[in-house]
Structure 1
Amino acid sequence: MTRNDRTTDDGSRRQALLEVLRDSDAPLGVTELAGRLGVHPNTVRFHLDALVTQGLVDRRLEKPSGRGRPRTVHTPRPGMDRGGQRQYQLLAKILLGQLSTGPDAGAAAEDAGRNWGGYLVEPVPPTHQPGAAEATQRLSALMTDLGFAPEPDSEAAERIRLRHCPFLELAEEFTSTLCPLHLGLMQGALSEIRAPITATSLEPFAEPDACIVKLSPTRAPAQITDPTGIPGEAR
């Protein structure tokens, strides 16, 4: 039996246990469950432990009705089954589709991204001013955590290649909305850490295996006056 087969079998056994518990009018012990399912009590104990850990089953001791140890019984925890199928991609499609129909959808998506970028990035101490290299590194760390697999562009230091999109199917369908959201996310992150650079553009699918992010300075170098009275760049 492969690992996937075993996982499927475990899931089927646990679902069967839940169904028996839900159909029962009274709490059930291990022996009763084993008899109804036709399996060994140790198998029932193993799967019950997992269901209790997952928060799907409650375990308690019954009040003793005579001599002997109190009986351990189990009941299904009230609430929806958390082991069912998820449809988050459908939800994302619905929300992106609705956003795409609004006026200036790209700008709205970019604003939303900026808000979340500032929230998601690791903060810096208030007395610390990161340089461009550190800011790029912090941005890359955030994008790595989010699954974008960033890497410096070998041809230009001010560019980052995003080699993976965790929302690829959605990005292909909603490029004009989702990609501005990602750009705004990077802008918000860099703004939050007071970086001297920002993300000025995101070119989706610029290469067969990557999107390209362009980074630019947010301000010109400060000017100073040297002892001769001639203005010059700060050193």
Structure 2
Amino acid sequence: MVASRQLTDPGNAPAQRGRRAAVLQLLRESGTPLGAAEVAERVGVHLNTARFHLDALVSEELAVRGTAPREEPGRPKVVYSAVAAEGPEGARSFRLLSDILLGVVAGAVDDPVAAATEAGRSWGAYLTDAPAPTERIGAEEGQRRLRATLEGMGFVTEAEAPAGEPADEPAAGVPEGGAGGGAEDAEGIRRLRLHHCPFREVAQRRPDIICAVHLGLMRGTVDTLRAPLTAESLEPFVTPHLCVATLRRTDLPTDRDVCDGPSAQQGPV
């Protein structure tokens, strides 16, 4: 006998139990919005308890709060309604869809990694606001904006610190995408740690394709910013929840630049 596989994604909303489940069920079965006093009476709880559970359901986006029209003067009556479930119990199958689409890409494209990288680059350019023609974006600002883009996708980013020093705080919650910075070696190599991949479950099955998309996104972002940075590589799953991107400064002088500089061109005195 073949074991069945779960084809739908687990719901984001926590399971309801006890009195809160009863309140939610009442809202779902009611043909009209209900006030807190009506909920308290029908469920058999104190008015404050009913309000507590109703407010919690609103916070969990399982119910909405509104007002009932009144004909007489006074404060409008606050009422609550359940949010309609999407499909059977709100079931979704995004993981199944992603697996199907990954299979299509892997089977229909000669070089799926290259195609995924190029697709990511195109979307990175699309998602990035290009600077004005006269605006110059430095490496630090370019990395800051890159981190802001990644944070907007759901990653938590962290610039790797110099050896022996603690890494900076993740950029989540820091205004305008957080700090840029981090360690940089003599060749302009710096590393960016990426936590909490928003596509981790899918990436674990096909890291070659999903991580190529992310690398392309980073390249498209810095290209559009015209920042002196390039995203060289992305190392997936250094730990189960950590990937590491390698960035490189492109505006540092090379050995040839140093040798060909003004001082080197001067003849003997």
TM normalised by structure 1 equals: 0.66
Please give the alpha-carbon distance, in whole angstroms, between the structure 1 residues aligned to 2:238 and 2:35: 61
Q: Secondary structure at the match of 1:181?
A: helix
Q: Secondary structure at the match of 2:137?
A: coil
Equivalent residue, structure 1, for 2:170: none
Please give the alpha-carbon distance, in whole angstroms, between the structure 1 residues aligned to 2:91 and 2:122: 30
Contact kept, 8 Å, 1:21 with 1:28, in 2: the verdict is yes
Note the C-alpha offset of 1:55: 7.3
Q: What code does the residue aligned with 1:76 have?
A: S
Q: Secondary structure at the match of 1:199?
A: strand
Q: For each residue in 1:41-99, what CA deviation from the matched residue of structure 2 results, as whole angstroms up to 9, or x when unmatched?
A: 121123334445647235333555xx997983735256326996766545444433433
2:219 to 187, 198, 223: 187
Please give the alpha-carbon distance, in whole angstroms, between the structure 1 residues aligned to 2:225 and 2:57: 43
Equivalent residue, structure 2, for 1:3: none
Question: Within the alignment, does 1:160 sit opposite 2:191 as a pair?
Answer: yes
1:22 to 25, 28, 31: 28
Q: What code does the residue aligned with 2:203 have?
A: A
Equivalent residue, structure 1, for 2:79: 74
Alpha-carbon distance change, 150 to 181 in structure 1, aligned in 2, over 3 angstroms: farther
User: What is the alpha-carbon root mean square deviation over aligned residues?
Assistant: 4.5
Bigger shift: residues 174-183 or 121-130:
121-130
2:47 to 41, 53, 61: 41
Q: What code does the residue aligned with 1:217 have?
A: T
1:176 to 208, 216, 226: 208
Uncovered stretches (5+) of structure 2, i.e. residues with no partner = 1-12, 161-182
Alpha-carbon distance change, 107 to 12 in structure 1, aligned in 2, over 3 angstroms: farther
Equivalent residue, structure 2, for 1:129: 136
What percentage of aligned pairs have identical amino acids? Answer: 37
Q: Secondary structure at the match of 2:244?
A: strand
Equivalent residue, structure 1, for 2:9: none
Please give the alpha-carbon distance, in whole angstroms, between the structure 1 residues aligned to 2:216 and 2:41: 59
Q: For each residue in 1:163-218, what CA deviation from the matched residue of structure 2 results, as whole angstroms up to 9, or x when unmatched?
A: 53614443332122012111111110111111233224334457996535253639
Question: Within the alignment, does 1:149 sit opposite 2:149 as a pair?
Answer: no
Please give the alpha-carbon distance, in whole angstroms, between the structure 2 residues aligned to 1:40 and 1:207: 49
Q: What code does the residue aligned with 1:180 have?
A: A
Please give the alpha-carbon distance, in whole angstroms, between the structure 2 residues aligned to 1:13 and 1:84: 21
Q: Secondary structure at the match of 2:108?
A: coil
Contact kept, 8 Å, 1:27 with 1:73, in 2: the verdict is no
Paired residue total: 218
TM normalised by structure 2 equals: 0.59
Alpha-carbon distance change, 138 to 41 in structure 1, aligned in 2, over 3 angstroms: closer
Alpha-carbon distance change, 213 to 101 in structure 1, aligned in 2, over 3 angstroms: farther
Please give the alpha-carbon distance, in whole angstroms, between the structure 2 residues aligned to 1:205 and 1:155: 26
Bigger shift: residues 174-183 or 135-144:
135-144
Note the C-alpha offset of 1:102: 2.8
Bigger shift: residues 77-86 or 178-187:
77-86
Q: What code does the residue aligned with 1:45 have?
A: R
